[in-house]
Structure 1
Amino acid sequence: MRILHTMLRVGDLDRSVEFYTKVMGMTLLRQADNEQYRYTLAFVGYGPESEQAVLELTYNWDTSEYDMGNAYGHIAIGVEDIYGLCEQIEQNGGDVYRKPGPVLGGKTVIAFVRDPDGYAIELIERKG
């Protein structure tokens, strides 16, 4: 068994796909409309779905925003150069709301980014 994907409901599909591809460096793997039920799914990731987990961005055509609630935590992404990536994200208009630095009480370097819908993304520096 393995995790296939995580689904996020998004208020503006084009804006979200642009963020995840241009700012976070993912690839749009596939996209499909369901006209009968009025939604579009877009799958983005760092590699093929056959090899790793991806994000499913779900756009319900009649909904432009969601209540985040308090149950959602974050998506975690391993990165090699967290300082350089955070600088690049900010240069592309991304919100790095927790700048890179060691986790409290530890040595692992982390940062947090917020996507256009407010979802938190934890970046974890992983050398090598």
Structure 2
Amino acid sequence: MRLLHTMLRVGNLDRAITFYTEVLGMRLLRQREYPDGRFTLAFVGYGDESDTAVIELTHNWDTGKYELGNGYGHIAIETDDIYATCEAVRAKGGRVTREPGPMKHGTTVIAFVEDPDGYKIEFIQQRTQ
């Protein structure tokens, strides 16, 4: 077994795709509309779905906004230069909500950003071997 994807419900699909592709550098892997169900699915990621876990963005046509539940945590993305990554996100209009630095009670360097719907994305500095 393996992890396939994480699903996020988004209020504005175009805005979400733009954030994940242009701000975070993922690729739009596939997108399909389901007119009978009045929803669209878009899958974004850093690699092919056959090789890596991806994010499923679900847009229900009749819902423009969602309240974030208290059970959702975050998506984590490893980066080789967390400081440059945060600066690139900021330069592209993204919101850094926790600047890079060691995690509380540990040494792993982390940072957080939010997508346009308020979902948290954690950046984790790649450890040197």
How many equivalent pairs are there?
128
Map Cα deviations across residues 8-54 of structure 1 (whole Å, 9 max, x no partner).
00000000000000000000000000001100000000000000000
Which one-letter code corresponds to 1:55 in the other structure?
A: I
Q: Distance in 2 between matches of 1:67 and 1:103?
A: 27
> Sequence identity of aligned pairs in percent?
62
TM-score by length of 2: 0.97
Question: Which is worse superposed, 64-73 or 7-16?
Answer: 64-73
Which one-letter code corresponds to 1:117 in the other structure?
A: D
TM-score by length of 1: 0.98
Q: Which residue of 2 aligns with 1:111?
A: 111
Aligned alpha-carbon RMSD (Å): 0.7
Report deviation, 1:127: 3.7
Q: Distance in 2 between matches of 1:43 and 1:67?
A: 21
Does 1:93 pair with 2:97? no
Report deviation, 1:58: 0.2
Q: Distance in 2 between matches of 1:55 and 1:70?
A: 19
Report deviation, 1:106: 1.6
Q: Distance in 2 between matches of 1:79 and 1:107?
A: 16
Q: Which residue of 2 aligns with 1:14?
A: 14
- Paired residue secondary structure (1:84): helix
Q: Distance in 2 between matches of 1:8 and 1:48?
A: 19
Q: Which residue of 2 aligns with 1:67?
A: 67
Structure 1 runs, 4 residues or longer, greater than 4 Å off:
none
Q: Distance in 2 between matches of 1:127 and 1:20?
A: 24
Q: Which residue of 2 aligns with 1:3?
A: 3
Q: Which residue of 2 aligns with 1:39?
A: 39
Report deviation, 1:102: 0.6
User: Unmatched 5+ residue regions in structure 2?
Assistant: none
Which one-letter code corresponds to 2:122 in the other structure?
A: E
Q: Which residue of 2 aligns with 1:121?
A: 121
